[in-house]
Amino acid sequence: MFKEAQITANDILSSAKAARLQIRCNVHESLVEAIYTDAARIADRAVNRPGDEPRFDLDRTIDRLVTSRTWGFPIMLLLFTLVFWITISGANVPSGWLFSLFIDVIYPSLKNAAEALALPWWLSGFLIDGVYLSTAWVISVMLPPMAIFFPLFTLLEDFGYLPRVAFNLDNFFKKSGAHGKQSLSMMMGFGCNAAGVVATRIIDSPRERLIAIITNNFSLCNGRWPTQILIATIFIGALVPAHVAGLISALSVVGVAIFGVLLTFAVSWALSRTWLKGEASTFSLELPPYRPPRILQTIYTSIIDRTIIVLWRAVIFAMPAGAFIWLISNINISGISIAAHMIDFLNPFGLLLGLNGVILLAYVVAIPANEIVIPSILMLTVMVAGLTNISPGAGVIFELDSQADTLAVLNVGGWTLLTAINTMLFSLIHNPCSTTIYTIYKETGSRKWTIISTLLPLGMGIAVTFLVAQVWRLVEAIL
Amino acid sequence: MTTNEIKAAAPACDTCPFHHTANLMKLGVDMEDWDYVIALAGNPNTGKSTVFNALTGLHQHTGNWPGKTVTRAEGGFDYGEKRYKLVDLPGTYSLLSTTLDEEIARDFILFGQPDVTVVVVDATRLERNLNLVLQVLEITDRAVVCLNLMDEAQRHGFKVDDRRLARDLGVPVVPTVARYDKGMDKLLQAICDVATHRTICNPHRIQHLAPDLKQNVSQIAAQIKAVFPDLPNARWVALRLLDGDERIAEAIRQGELGDLTSGAPPDQSNLIHPIRLETV
Amino acid sequence: MPAPLIALLVTALLIILAFLLFRPERGIIPRYRNTRYLSSRVYSEDALKHIYHCQLSGDRPSIESIAGALHITTDEAAGLLSQMENRGLLQLQENAICLTSTGREMALHIIRAHRLWERHLADETGYSELEWHDRAERHEHALSPEEVDALSAHLGHPSYDPHGDPIPTVDGELISLDAAPLTSADLHTPLHIVHIEDEPQSLYAQLVAEGLHPGMQVRLIERSPERILFWANGDEHVLAPIVAANISVSPLPEEYRTKPIYKGRLADLKPGESGEVQSISPACRGLERRRLMDLGVLPGTVIKSEINSPSGDPTAYRIRGAVIALREEQSNHIHITRFNQETA
Ligand SMILES: Nc1nc2c(ncn2[C@@H]2O[C@H](COP(=O)(O)OP(=O)(O)OP(=O)(O)O)[C@@H](O)[C@H]2O)c(=O)[nH]1
Ligand SMILES: [Mg+2]
């Protein structure tokens, strides 16, 4: 057909095109069949199988239990509650140690050193009260729970339990028009939403992948666990007798997490009926064999790797945020600090949502990292209330030895049970952190979907807290 | 392993340096000017990342579920006075469909021109894993099969004849247990041998194609050979063209395939795909 | 009235207002957009398509037929045609309407856009078959030639749309189908469906409901003025002749005949039972189909059902050594012959 010398790249393409019209069999199918035929033959020659299938198959026995109609879901709930309960109750004590190390030991000596060096008040305030204290706070609050949570979660992952969760939940995802593997990216999101967004790459269908990306934010990430845990402990744990307080706090945190999962279903459902219309596509998930995890190695790598990396990120963002808060609290415009101006401005809207101006401002400050919501709230509350006996000065993210102190501060700030509940809800449902937003942009390559994934949860958060606040107040007014 | 270490300690062995993990220097992410690039491909959940970690000393996330790795990770090691760059690819069942993870893996094996492609396979599911191995062997003729999870195969009573497999596939086959670092020395040796052309592979090529397909494939492959004489995988490129793979057609149009054989660095910039979707 | 109640009521009102305004498709704003969208360009493109199809099938396009096809009055149609003539898209010669070469090119572009978009909807989205045509009908006007080329490349330059209609190539070539309606086919010869007409929708819906797709192997069993009885991939179907006429078939070459008998679907297996794959239904298309094959679901593969999910739906199957969960829609597409007892 062609003379050797004249063949060019375009000739190849055009003869391929001609051949494509002419070939009657499906190229892909006959190729796959040919490959599998060869593969089966080669495998057959190389492998010597045992004659009989063993009568007892441990994997299937475990599978039958964890995916059973009666026990499947209770086991799931139990395992996750257990993980959170161990995290919450185990993290308290080391958190306390770290607090006293950073605040009782290091902080005064830093202050003394600054005095000895005769640093100007604004410099030592900026560095020590702003940058240092915020960092110390983040480390002592976040390190212990993460050092417990990550290894536990990794153990479950290594054992092979996660694909079974996806298997159990798939029907709900299907009914909400989403992909079954979304439960895997959702679980990655419980660690970090940015990682969860990247993990959606295992979903083939673009429509379902977008749904998974947009709803990933409803998985509580580890930046938000501390907020949930702290508020649940001091407000909800306080409602019940001391000996069950830990369990009830853990349950309420699990409750919020489950609410997040329900929201994931609801939003997926709504999206797949409006903007991202379409039926659920197919799903194929391999259930790998169970493998006994190597406990020591898992603990080692998950601490070295995940915990330190996540903590590092938190610290990087906490330092400038601490500095920023210190600055806006200490720069005055017409006699009042900038922070106070902002809080006054946000307060009416905050109250409408059952929150307050301080909380909203804290969420604005915490856009780079959710980890610093609580420290910002405490600091700003103290500043507004002028609690000079606790705080070493305005704009200082300070030490609170006990939860009782924290409670005292928040009560002065006008907090009620409603404020606490709505803060937990708002922490679950608001815009993703800036890293996640950037990741969404990179993964979708679309400004439109990035904006939607940012504003949709924020709008929903406002709606939910507003509704809860108004209904709560209505019930209060009637009673 | 202990014998290896003893031998490695003996000075005489400096002249025959390639046989021991003791000679392995894990370089982590430090991999300036490497001599060889090694790709790690394989089905999901077969232990690619575990092999990667064992060789580089890094801590790529591993997890017992398919799809743990979704981006490619790179690390380096030093072995027998040569520096190697190791690339961990997402696990795929096949290289024929065009989903994101498969494209990352496929593009790297084809356009990233690794010196050696290590296919990590699950010894307990050989048949399904060979599906991918045979596809890789169509693309490249420098490959090593890492027969991983041998401990599980043993536990289930499977006997896998790795020599027979090596003969049938025409590439080195190394049984390993990556999780407990077993067989890594042999794997390194095989990689090194293929990279330095000490082992010449004669990979198995797919046989049982449908008759009219076979004829068209060989005709187009001949044309491809005429334009790109050094291409090792003309037949596979022809198959992809017949299947309507636009990425490959583009590579032919742009002459990218020609660059591959001339050793020019590949352009990886078009690896990021924005999500496309109809919006109402 | 207490303040919270007022706040709630005000919000409820706002939400209702927003719903009325923005509700997809039926809200006030989407509707307004839709009407603006049906601009004169869309009309002229639809007219081009109509004229082109008429020429292909040997009919003579007329002002009346155009008015009918576009749902406009004959006066409007006449105005549209003279407008199009001015733009050099067609020539009006003594009652005959002819496309100029520009007009022909444009008509082919629209047809190409339409069929490629249907292919995209079929292979890459979850829209139901009944929605493909209408969506493509709207979207074809929004795609530029460059976008259409990109779409074609993205889809791997498919030759046919999901109904079996050939897709014009970039150079404007359109292969013609060599097919006859099922109603006039020979009895008892092996045939395969090459095309299914998607208009009118009421008839198409019946074909979709029967689960018929291009690529299926059929065999005509009985033909009478009341009904057409035929086998398709092992199932018996009965259709009214007017419906069956919308199916086009052609003889099936010897080498592609497979035994069309299967005894069930993978979805029918209970945990513990196994079977051998016969075929994957043609209704399973695109990436979905490729995925299944990549996983090793091929004719001859032995599959064993292992466990059910607690909520009933995905079921895990042992396929070539691995345990893989599939949803019911997928396992329904896999035809198998069941093994009598559990295999050892
Ligand atoms: N028993 C045993 N387990 C292994 C071996 N190699 C890896 N594993 C385990 O297999 C699981 C999967 O390992 P990974 O390295 O994450 O697999 P991968 O191939 O990178 O998987 P993807 O990134 O999802 O494609 C982990 O739980 C490993 O601990 C082995 O040789 N023996
Ligand atoms: Mg991996």
> Is C44 contained in some domain?
yes
| Residue whose CB lies within 8 A of the most ligand 1 atoms, among A291, A295, A297, for a mutation test | A291
| Structure confidence at residue A391 (pLDDT) | 45
> Can you tell me the mean pLDDT for B70-99?
83
User: pLDDT tens, A25-63?
Assistant: 678 888 888 999 999 999 988 888 776 666 677 888 888
Residues near ligand 1 with C-beta < 6 Å?
A: A 158, 291; B 42, 44-50, 62-64, 66-69, 90-91, 148-149, 151-152, 177-179
pLDDT for residue B266 is more than 60: no
Residues of B in contact with A10 (CB under 8 A): 253
C204 shares its domain with C271 = no
| Centre of ligand 1 from the C-alpha of residue B1, in Å | 22
Q: Cβ A284–C324 below 8 Å, yes or no?
A: yes
pLDDT for residue A192 is more than 60: yes
Residues of C in contact with B98 (CB under 8 A): 156, 287
pLDDT category of residue C72 using cuts at 50, 70 and 90 = confident
pLDDT category of residue A269 using cuts at 50, 70 and 90 = very high
pLDDT category of residue B178 using cuts at 50, 70 and 90 = very high
Which is more confidently placed, A217 or C164?
A217
HEC states along chain A? CCCHHHCCHHHHHHHHHHHHHHCCCCHHHHHHHHHHHHHHHHHHHHEECCCCCCCCCHHHHHHHHHCCCCCHHHHHHHHHHHHHHHHHHHHHHHHHHHHHHHHHHHHHHHHHHHHHCCCCHHHHHHHHHHHHHHHHHHHHHHHHHHHHHHHHHHHHHHHCCHHHHHHHHHHHHHHCCCCCCHHHHHHHHHHCHHHHHHHHHHCCCHHHHHHHHHHHHHCCCCCCHHHHHHHHHHHHHHHCCHHHHHHHHHHHHHHHHHHHHHHHHHHHHHHCCCCCCCCCCCCEEECCCCCCCCHHHHHHHHHHHHHHHHHHHHHHHHHHHHHHHHHHHHCEECCEEHHHHHHHHHHHHHHHCCCCHHHHHHHHHCCCCHHHHHHHHHHHHHHHHCCCCCCCCCCCCCCCCCHHHHHHHHHHCCCCHHHHHHHHHHHHCCCCCHHHHHHHHHHHCCHHHHHHHHHHHHHHHHHHHHHHHHHHHHHHHHC
Q: What is the ipTM of this complex?
A: 0.83
CATH value at residue C70: 1.10.10.10
Which is more confidently placed, C214 or C115?
C115
| Residue whose CB lies within 8 A of the most ligand 1 atoms, among B62, B89, B148, for a mutation test | B62
User: pLDDT tens, A275-301?
Assistant: 777 666 677 888 999 988 888 888 887
Contacts of A297 (CB under 8 A, 6+ apart): none
pLDDT for residue C214 is more than 90: no
Q: Cβ A67–C312 below 8 Å, yes or no?
A: no
Which is more confidently placed, C97 or A348?
A348
Q: Which range among A20-29, C162-171, C320-329 shows the weakest confidence by mean pLDDT?
A: A20-29
Nearest-5° Cα angle at C287, A210 to C253: 160
Contacts of C38 (CB under 8 A, 6+ apart): none
Chains that touch C (3 or more CB pairs under 8 A): A, B
Per the CB < 8 A criterion, the answer to whether B183 and B176 are in contact is: yes
HEC states along C274-301? EEEEEEECCCCCHHHHHHHHHCCCCCCC
Which is more confidently placed, B265 or A67?
A67
Which is more confidently placed, A226 or C330?
C330
> Is C124 contained in some domain?
no
Greatest mean pLDDT range, A418-427, B152-161, C52-61, C71-80: A418-427
C253 shares its domain with C284 = no
Q: Residue B90: which of B81, B80, B98, B102 has the closest Cα?
A: B102
> Can you tell me the mean pLDDT for C21-43?
71
Residue with tokens 């407990």: B180
> Is C57 contained in some domain?
yes
Contacts of A105 (CB under 8 A, 6+ apart): none
Segment holding C317, helix H or strand E: strand C315-319
Examine the fold and report which residue of C48, C64, C99 is the final residue of a domain before the chain moves on: C99
> Is C165 contained in some domain?
no
User: pLDDT tens, A414-451?
Assistant: 788 899 999 999 999 999 988 889 889 888 888 889 99
C92 shares its domain with C34 = yes
Tell me what percent of the residues of chain A surpass a pLDDT of 90: 16
| Structure confidence at residue A222 (pLDDT) | 74
User: pLDDT tens, C140-185?
Assistant: 888 888 888 888 887 878 888 888 888 888 777 777 777 788 888 8
CA distance A16 to chain C (A): 12
Examine the fold and report which residue of C58, C79, C99 is the final residue of a domain before the chain moves on: C99
Chains that touch B (3 or more CB pairs under 8 A): A, C
pLDDT for residue A93 is more than 70: yes
Preceding amide of C200 cis, omega within 30? yes
> Is C314 contained in some domain?
yes
> Can you tell me the mean pLDDT for B138-146?
91
| Residue whose CB lies within 8 A of the most ligand 1 atoms, among B46, B50, B149, for a mutation test | B50
| Domain tally, chain C | 3
Residue B108 CA to residue B101 CA, distance in Å, equals: 11
Residues of B in contact with A294 (CB under 8 A): 179
C233 shares its domain with C252 = yes
Greatest mean pLDDT range, A241-250, B52-61, B184-193, B256-265: B184-193
> Is C95 contained in some domain?
yes
C247 shares its domain with C274 = no
pLDDT for residue C320 is more than 80: yes
Tokens standing for residue A274: 């409006």
C249 shares its domain with C282 = no
| Centre of ligand 1 from the C-alpha of residue A148, in Å | 23
Q: Which range among A19-23, B135-139, C167-171, C293-297 shows the weakest confidence by mean pLDDT?
A: A19-23
Tell me what percent of the residues of chain C surpass a pLDDT of 70: 92
pLDDT for residue A101 is more than 70: yes
C244 shares its domain with C274 = no
pLDDT category of residue B26 using cuts at 50, 70 and 90 = low
> Which domain range does residue C57 map to?
28-99
DSSP state of B10: S
Q: Which atom of ligand 1 is nearest to the CA of B148?
A: 31
CA C74 to chain centre: 31
> Can you tell me the mean pLDDT for B246-266?
64
Q: Greatest CA separation found in chain B?
A: 73
| Structure confidence at residue B265 (pLDDT) | 40
Residue C265 CA to residue C263 CA, distance in Å, equals: 7
| Structure confidence at residue C261 (pLDDT) | 54
| Structure confidence at residue B3 (pLDDT) | 35
| Structure confidence at residue A266 (pLDDT) | 94
CATH value at residue C306: 2.30.30.90
Examine the fold and report which residue of C216, C235, C257 is the final residue of a domain before the chain moves on: C257
Please give the interface size between A and B, counted as residue pairs whose CB atoms are below 8 Å apart. Answer: 202
| Structure confidence at residue B187 (pLDDT) | 94
Q: Which of A281, A283, A466 sits opposite C314 (nearest CB)?
A: A283
> Can you tell me the mean pLDDT for B169-186?
92
Q: Residue B76: which of B41, B24, B1 has the closest Cα?
A: B24
Per the CB < 8 A criterion, the answer to whether C215 and C283 are in contact is: no
> Is C42 contained in some domain?
yes
pLDDT category of residue C57 using cuts at 50, 70 and 90 = confident
Report the predicted TM-score, pTM, of the whole model to 2 decimal places.
0.77
Radius of gyration of chain B (CA): 19
> Can you tell me the mean pLDDT for C284-305?
86
| Structure confidence at residue B279 (pLDDT) | 36
Q: Residue A289: which of B46, B49, B50 has the closest Cα?
A: B46
Q: Which of B94, B278, B279, B280 to mutate to test the interface with C (most CBs of C within 10 A)?
A: B278
Question: Please, what is the angle between helix B234-242 and helix A27-46, to 10°?
Answer: 140
pLDDT for residue B13 is more than 70: no
> Is C271 contained in some domain?
yes
Residues of B with CB under 8 A from a CB of C: 93-94, 96-99, 124-128, 131, 211, 243-246, 249-250, 276-278, 280
pLDDT category of residue B275 using cuts at 50, 70 and 90 = very low
Q: Which residues are bridge partners to C280 per DSSP?
A: C334
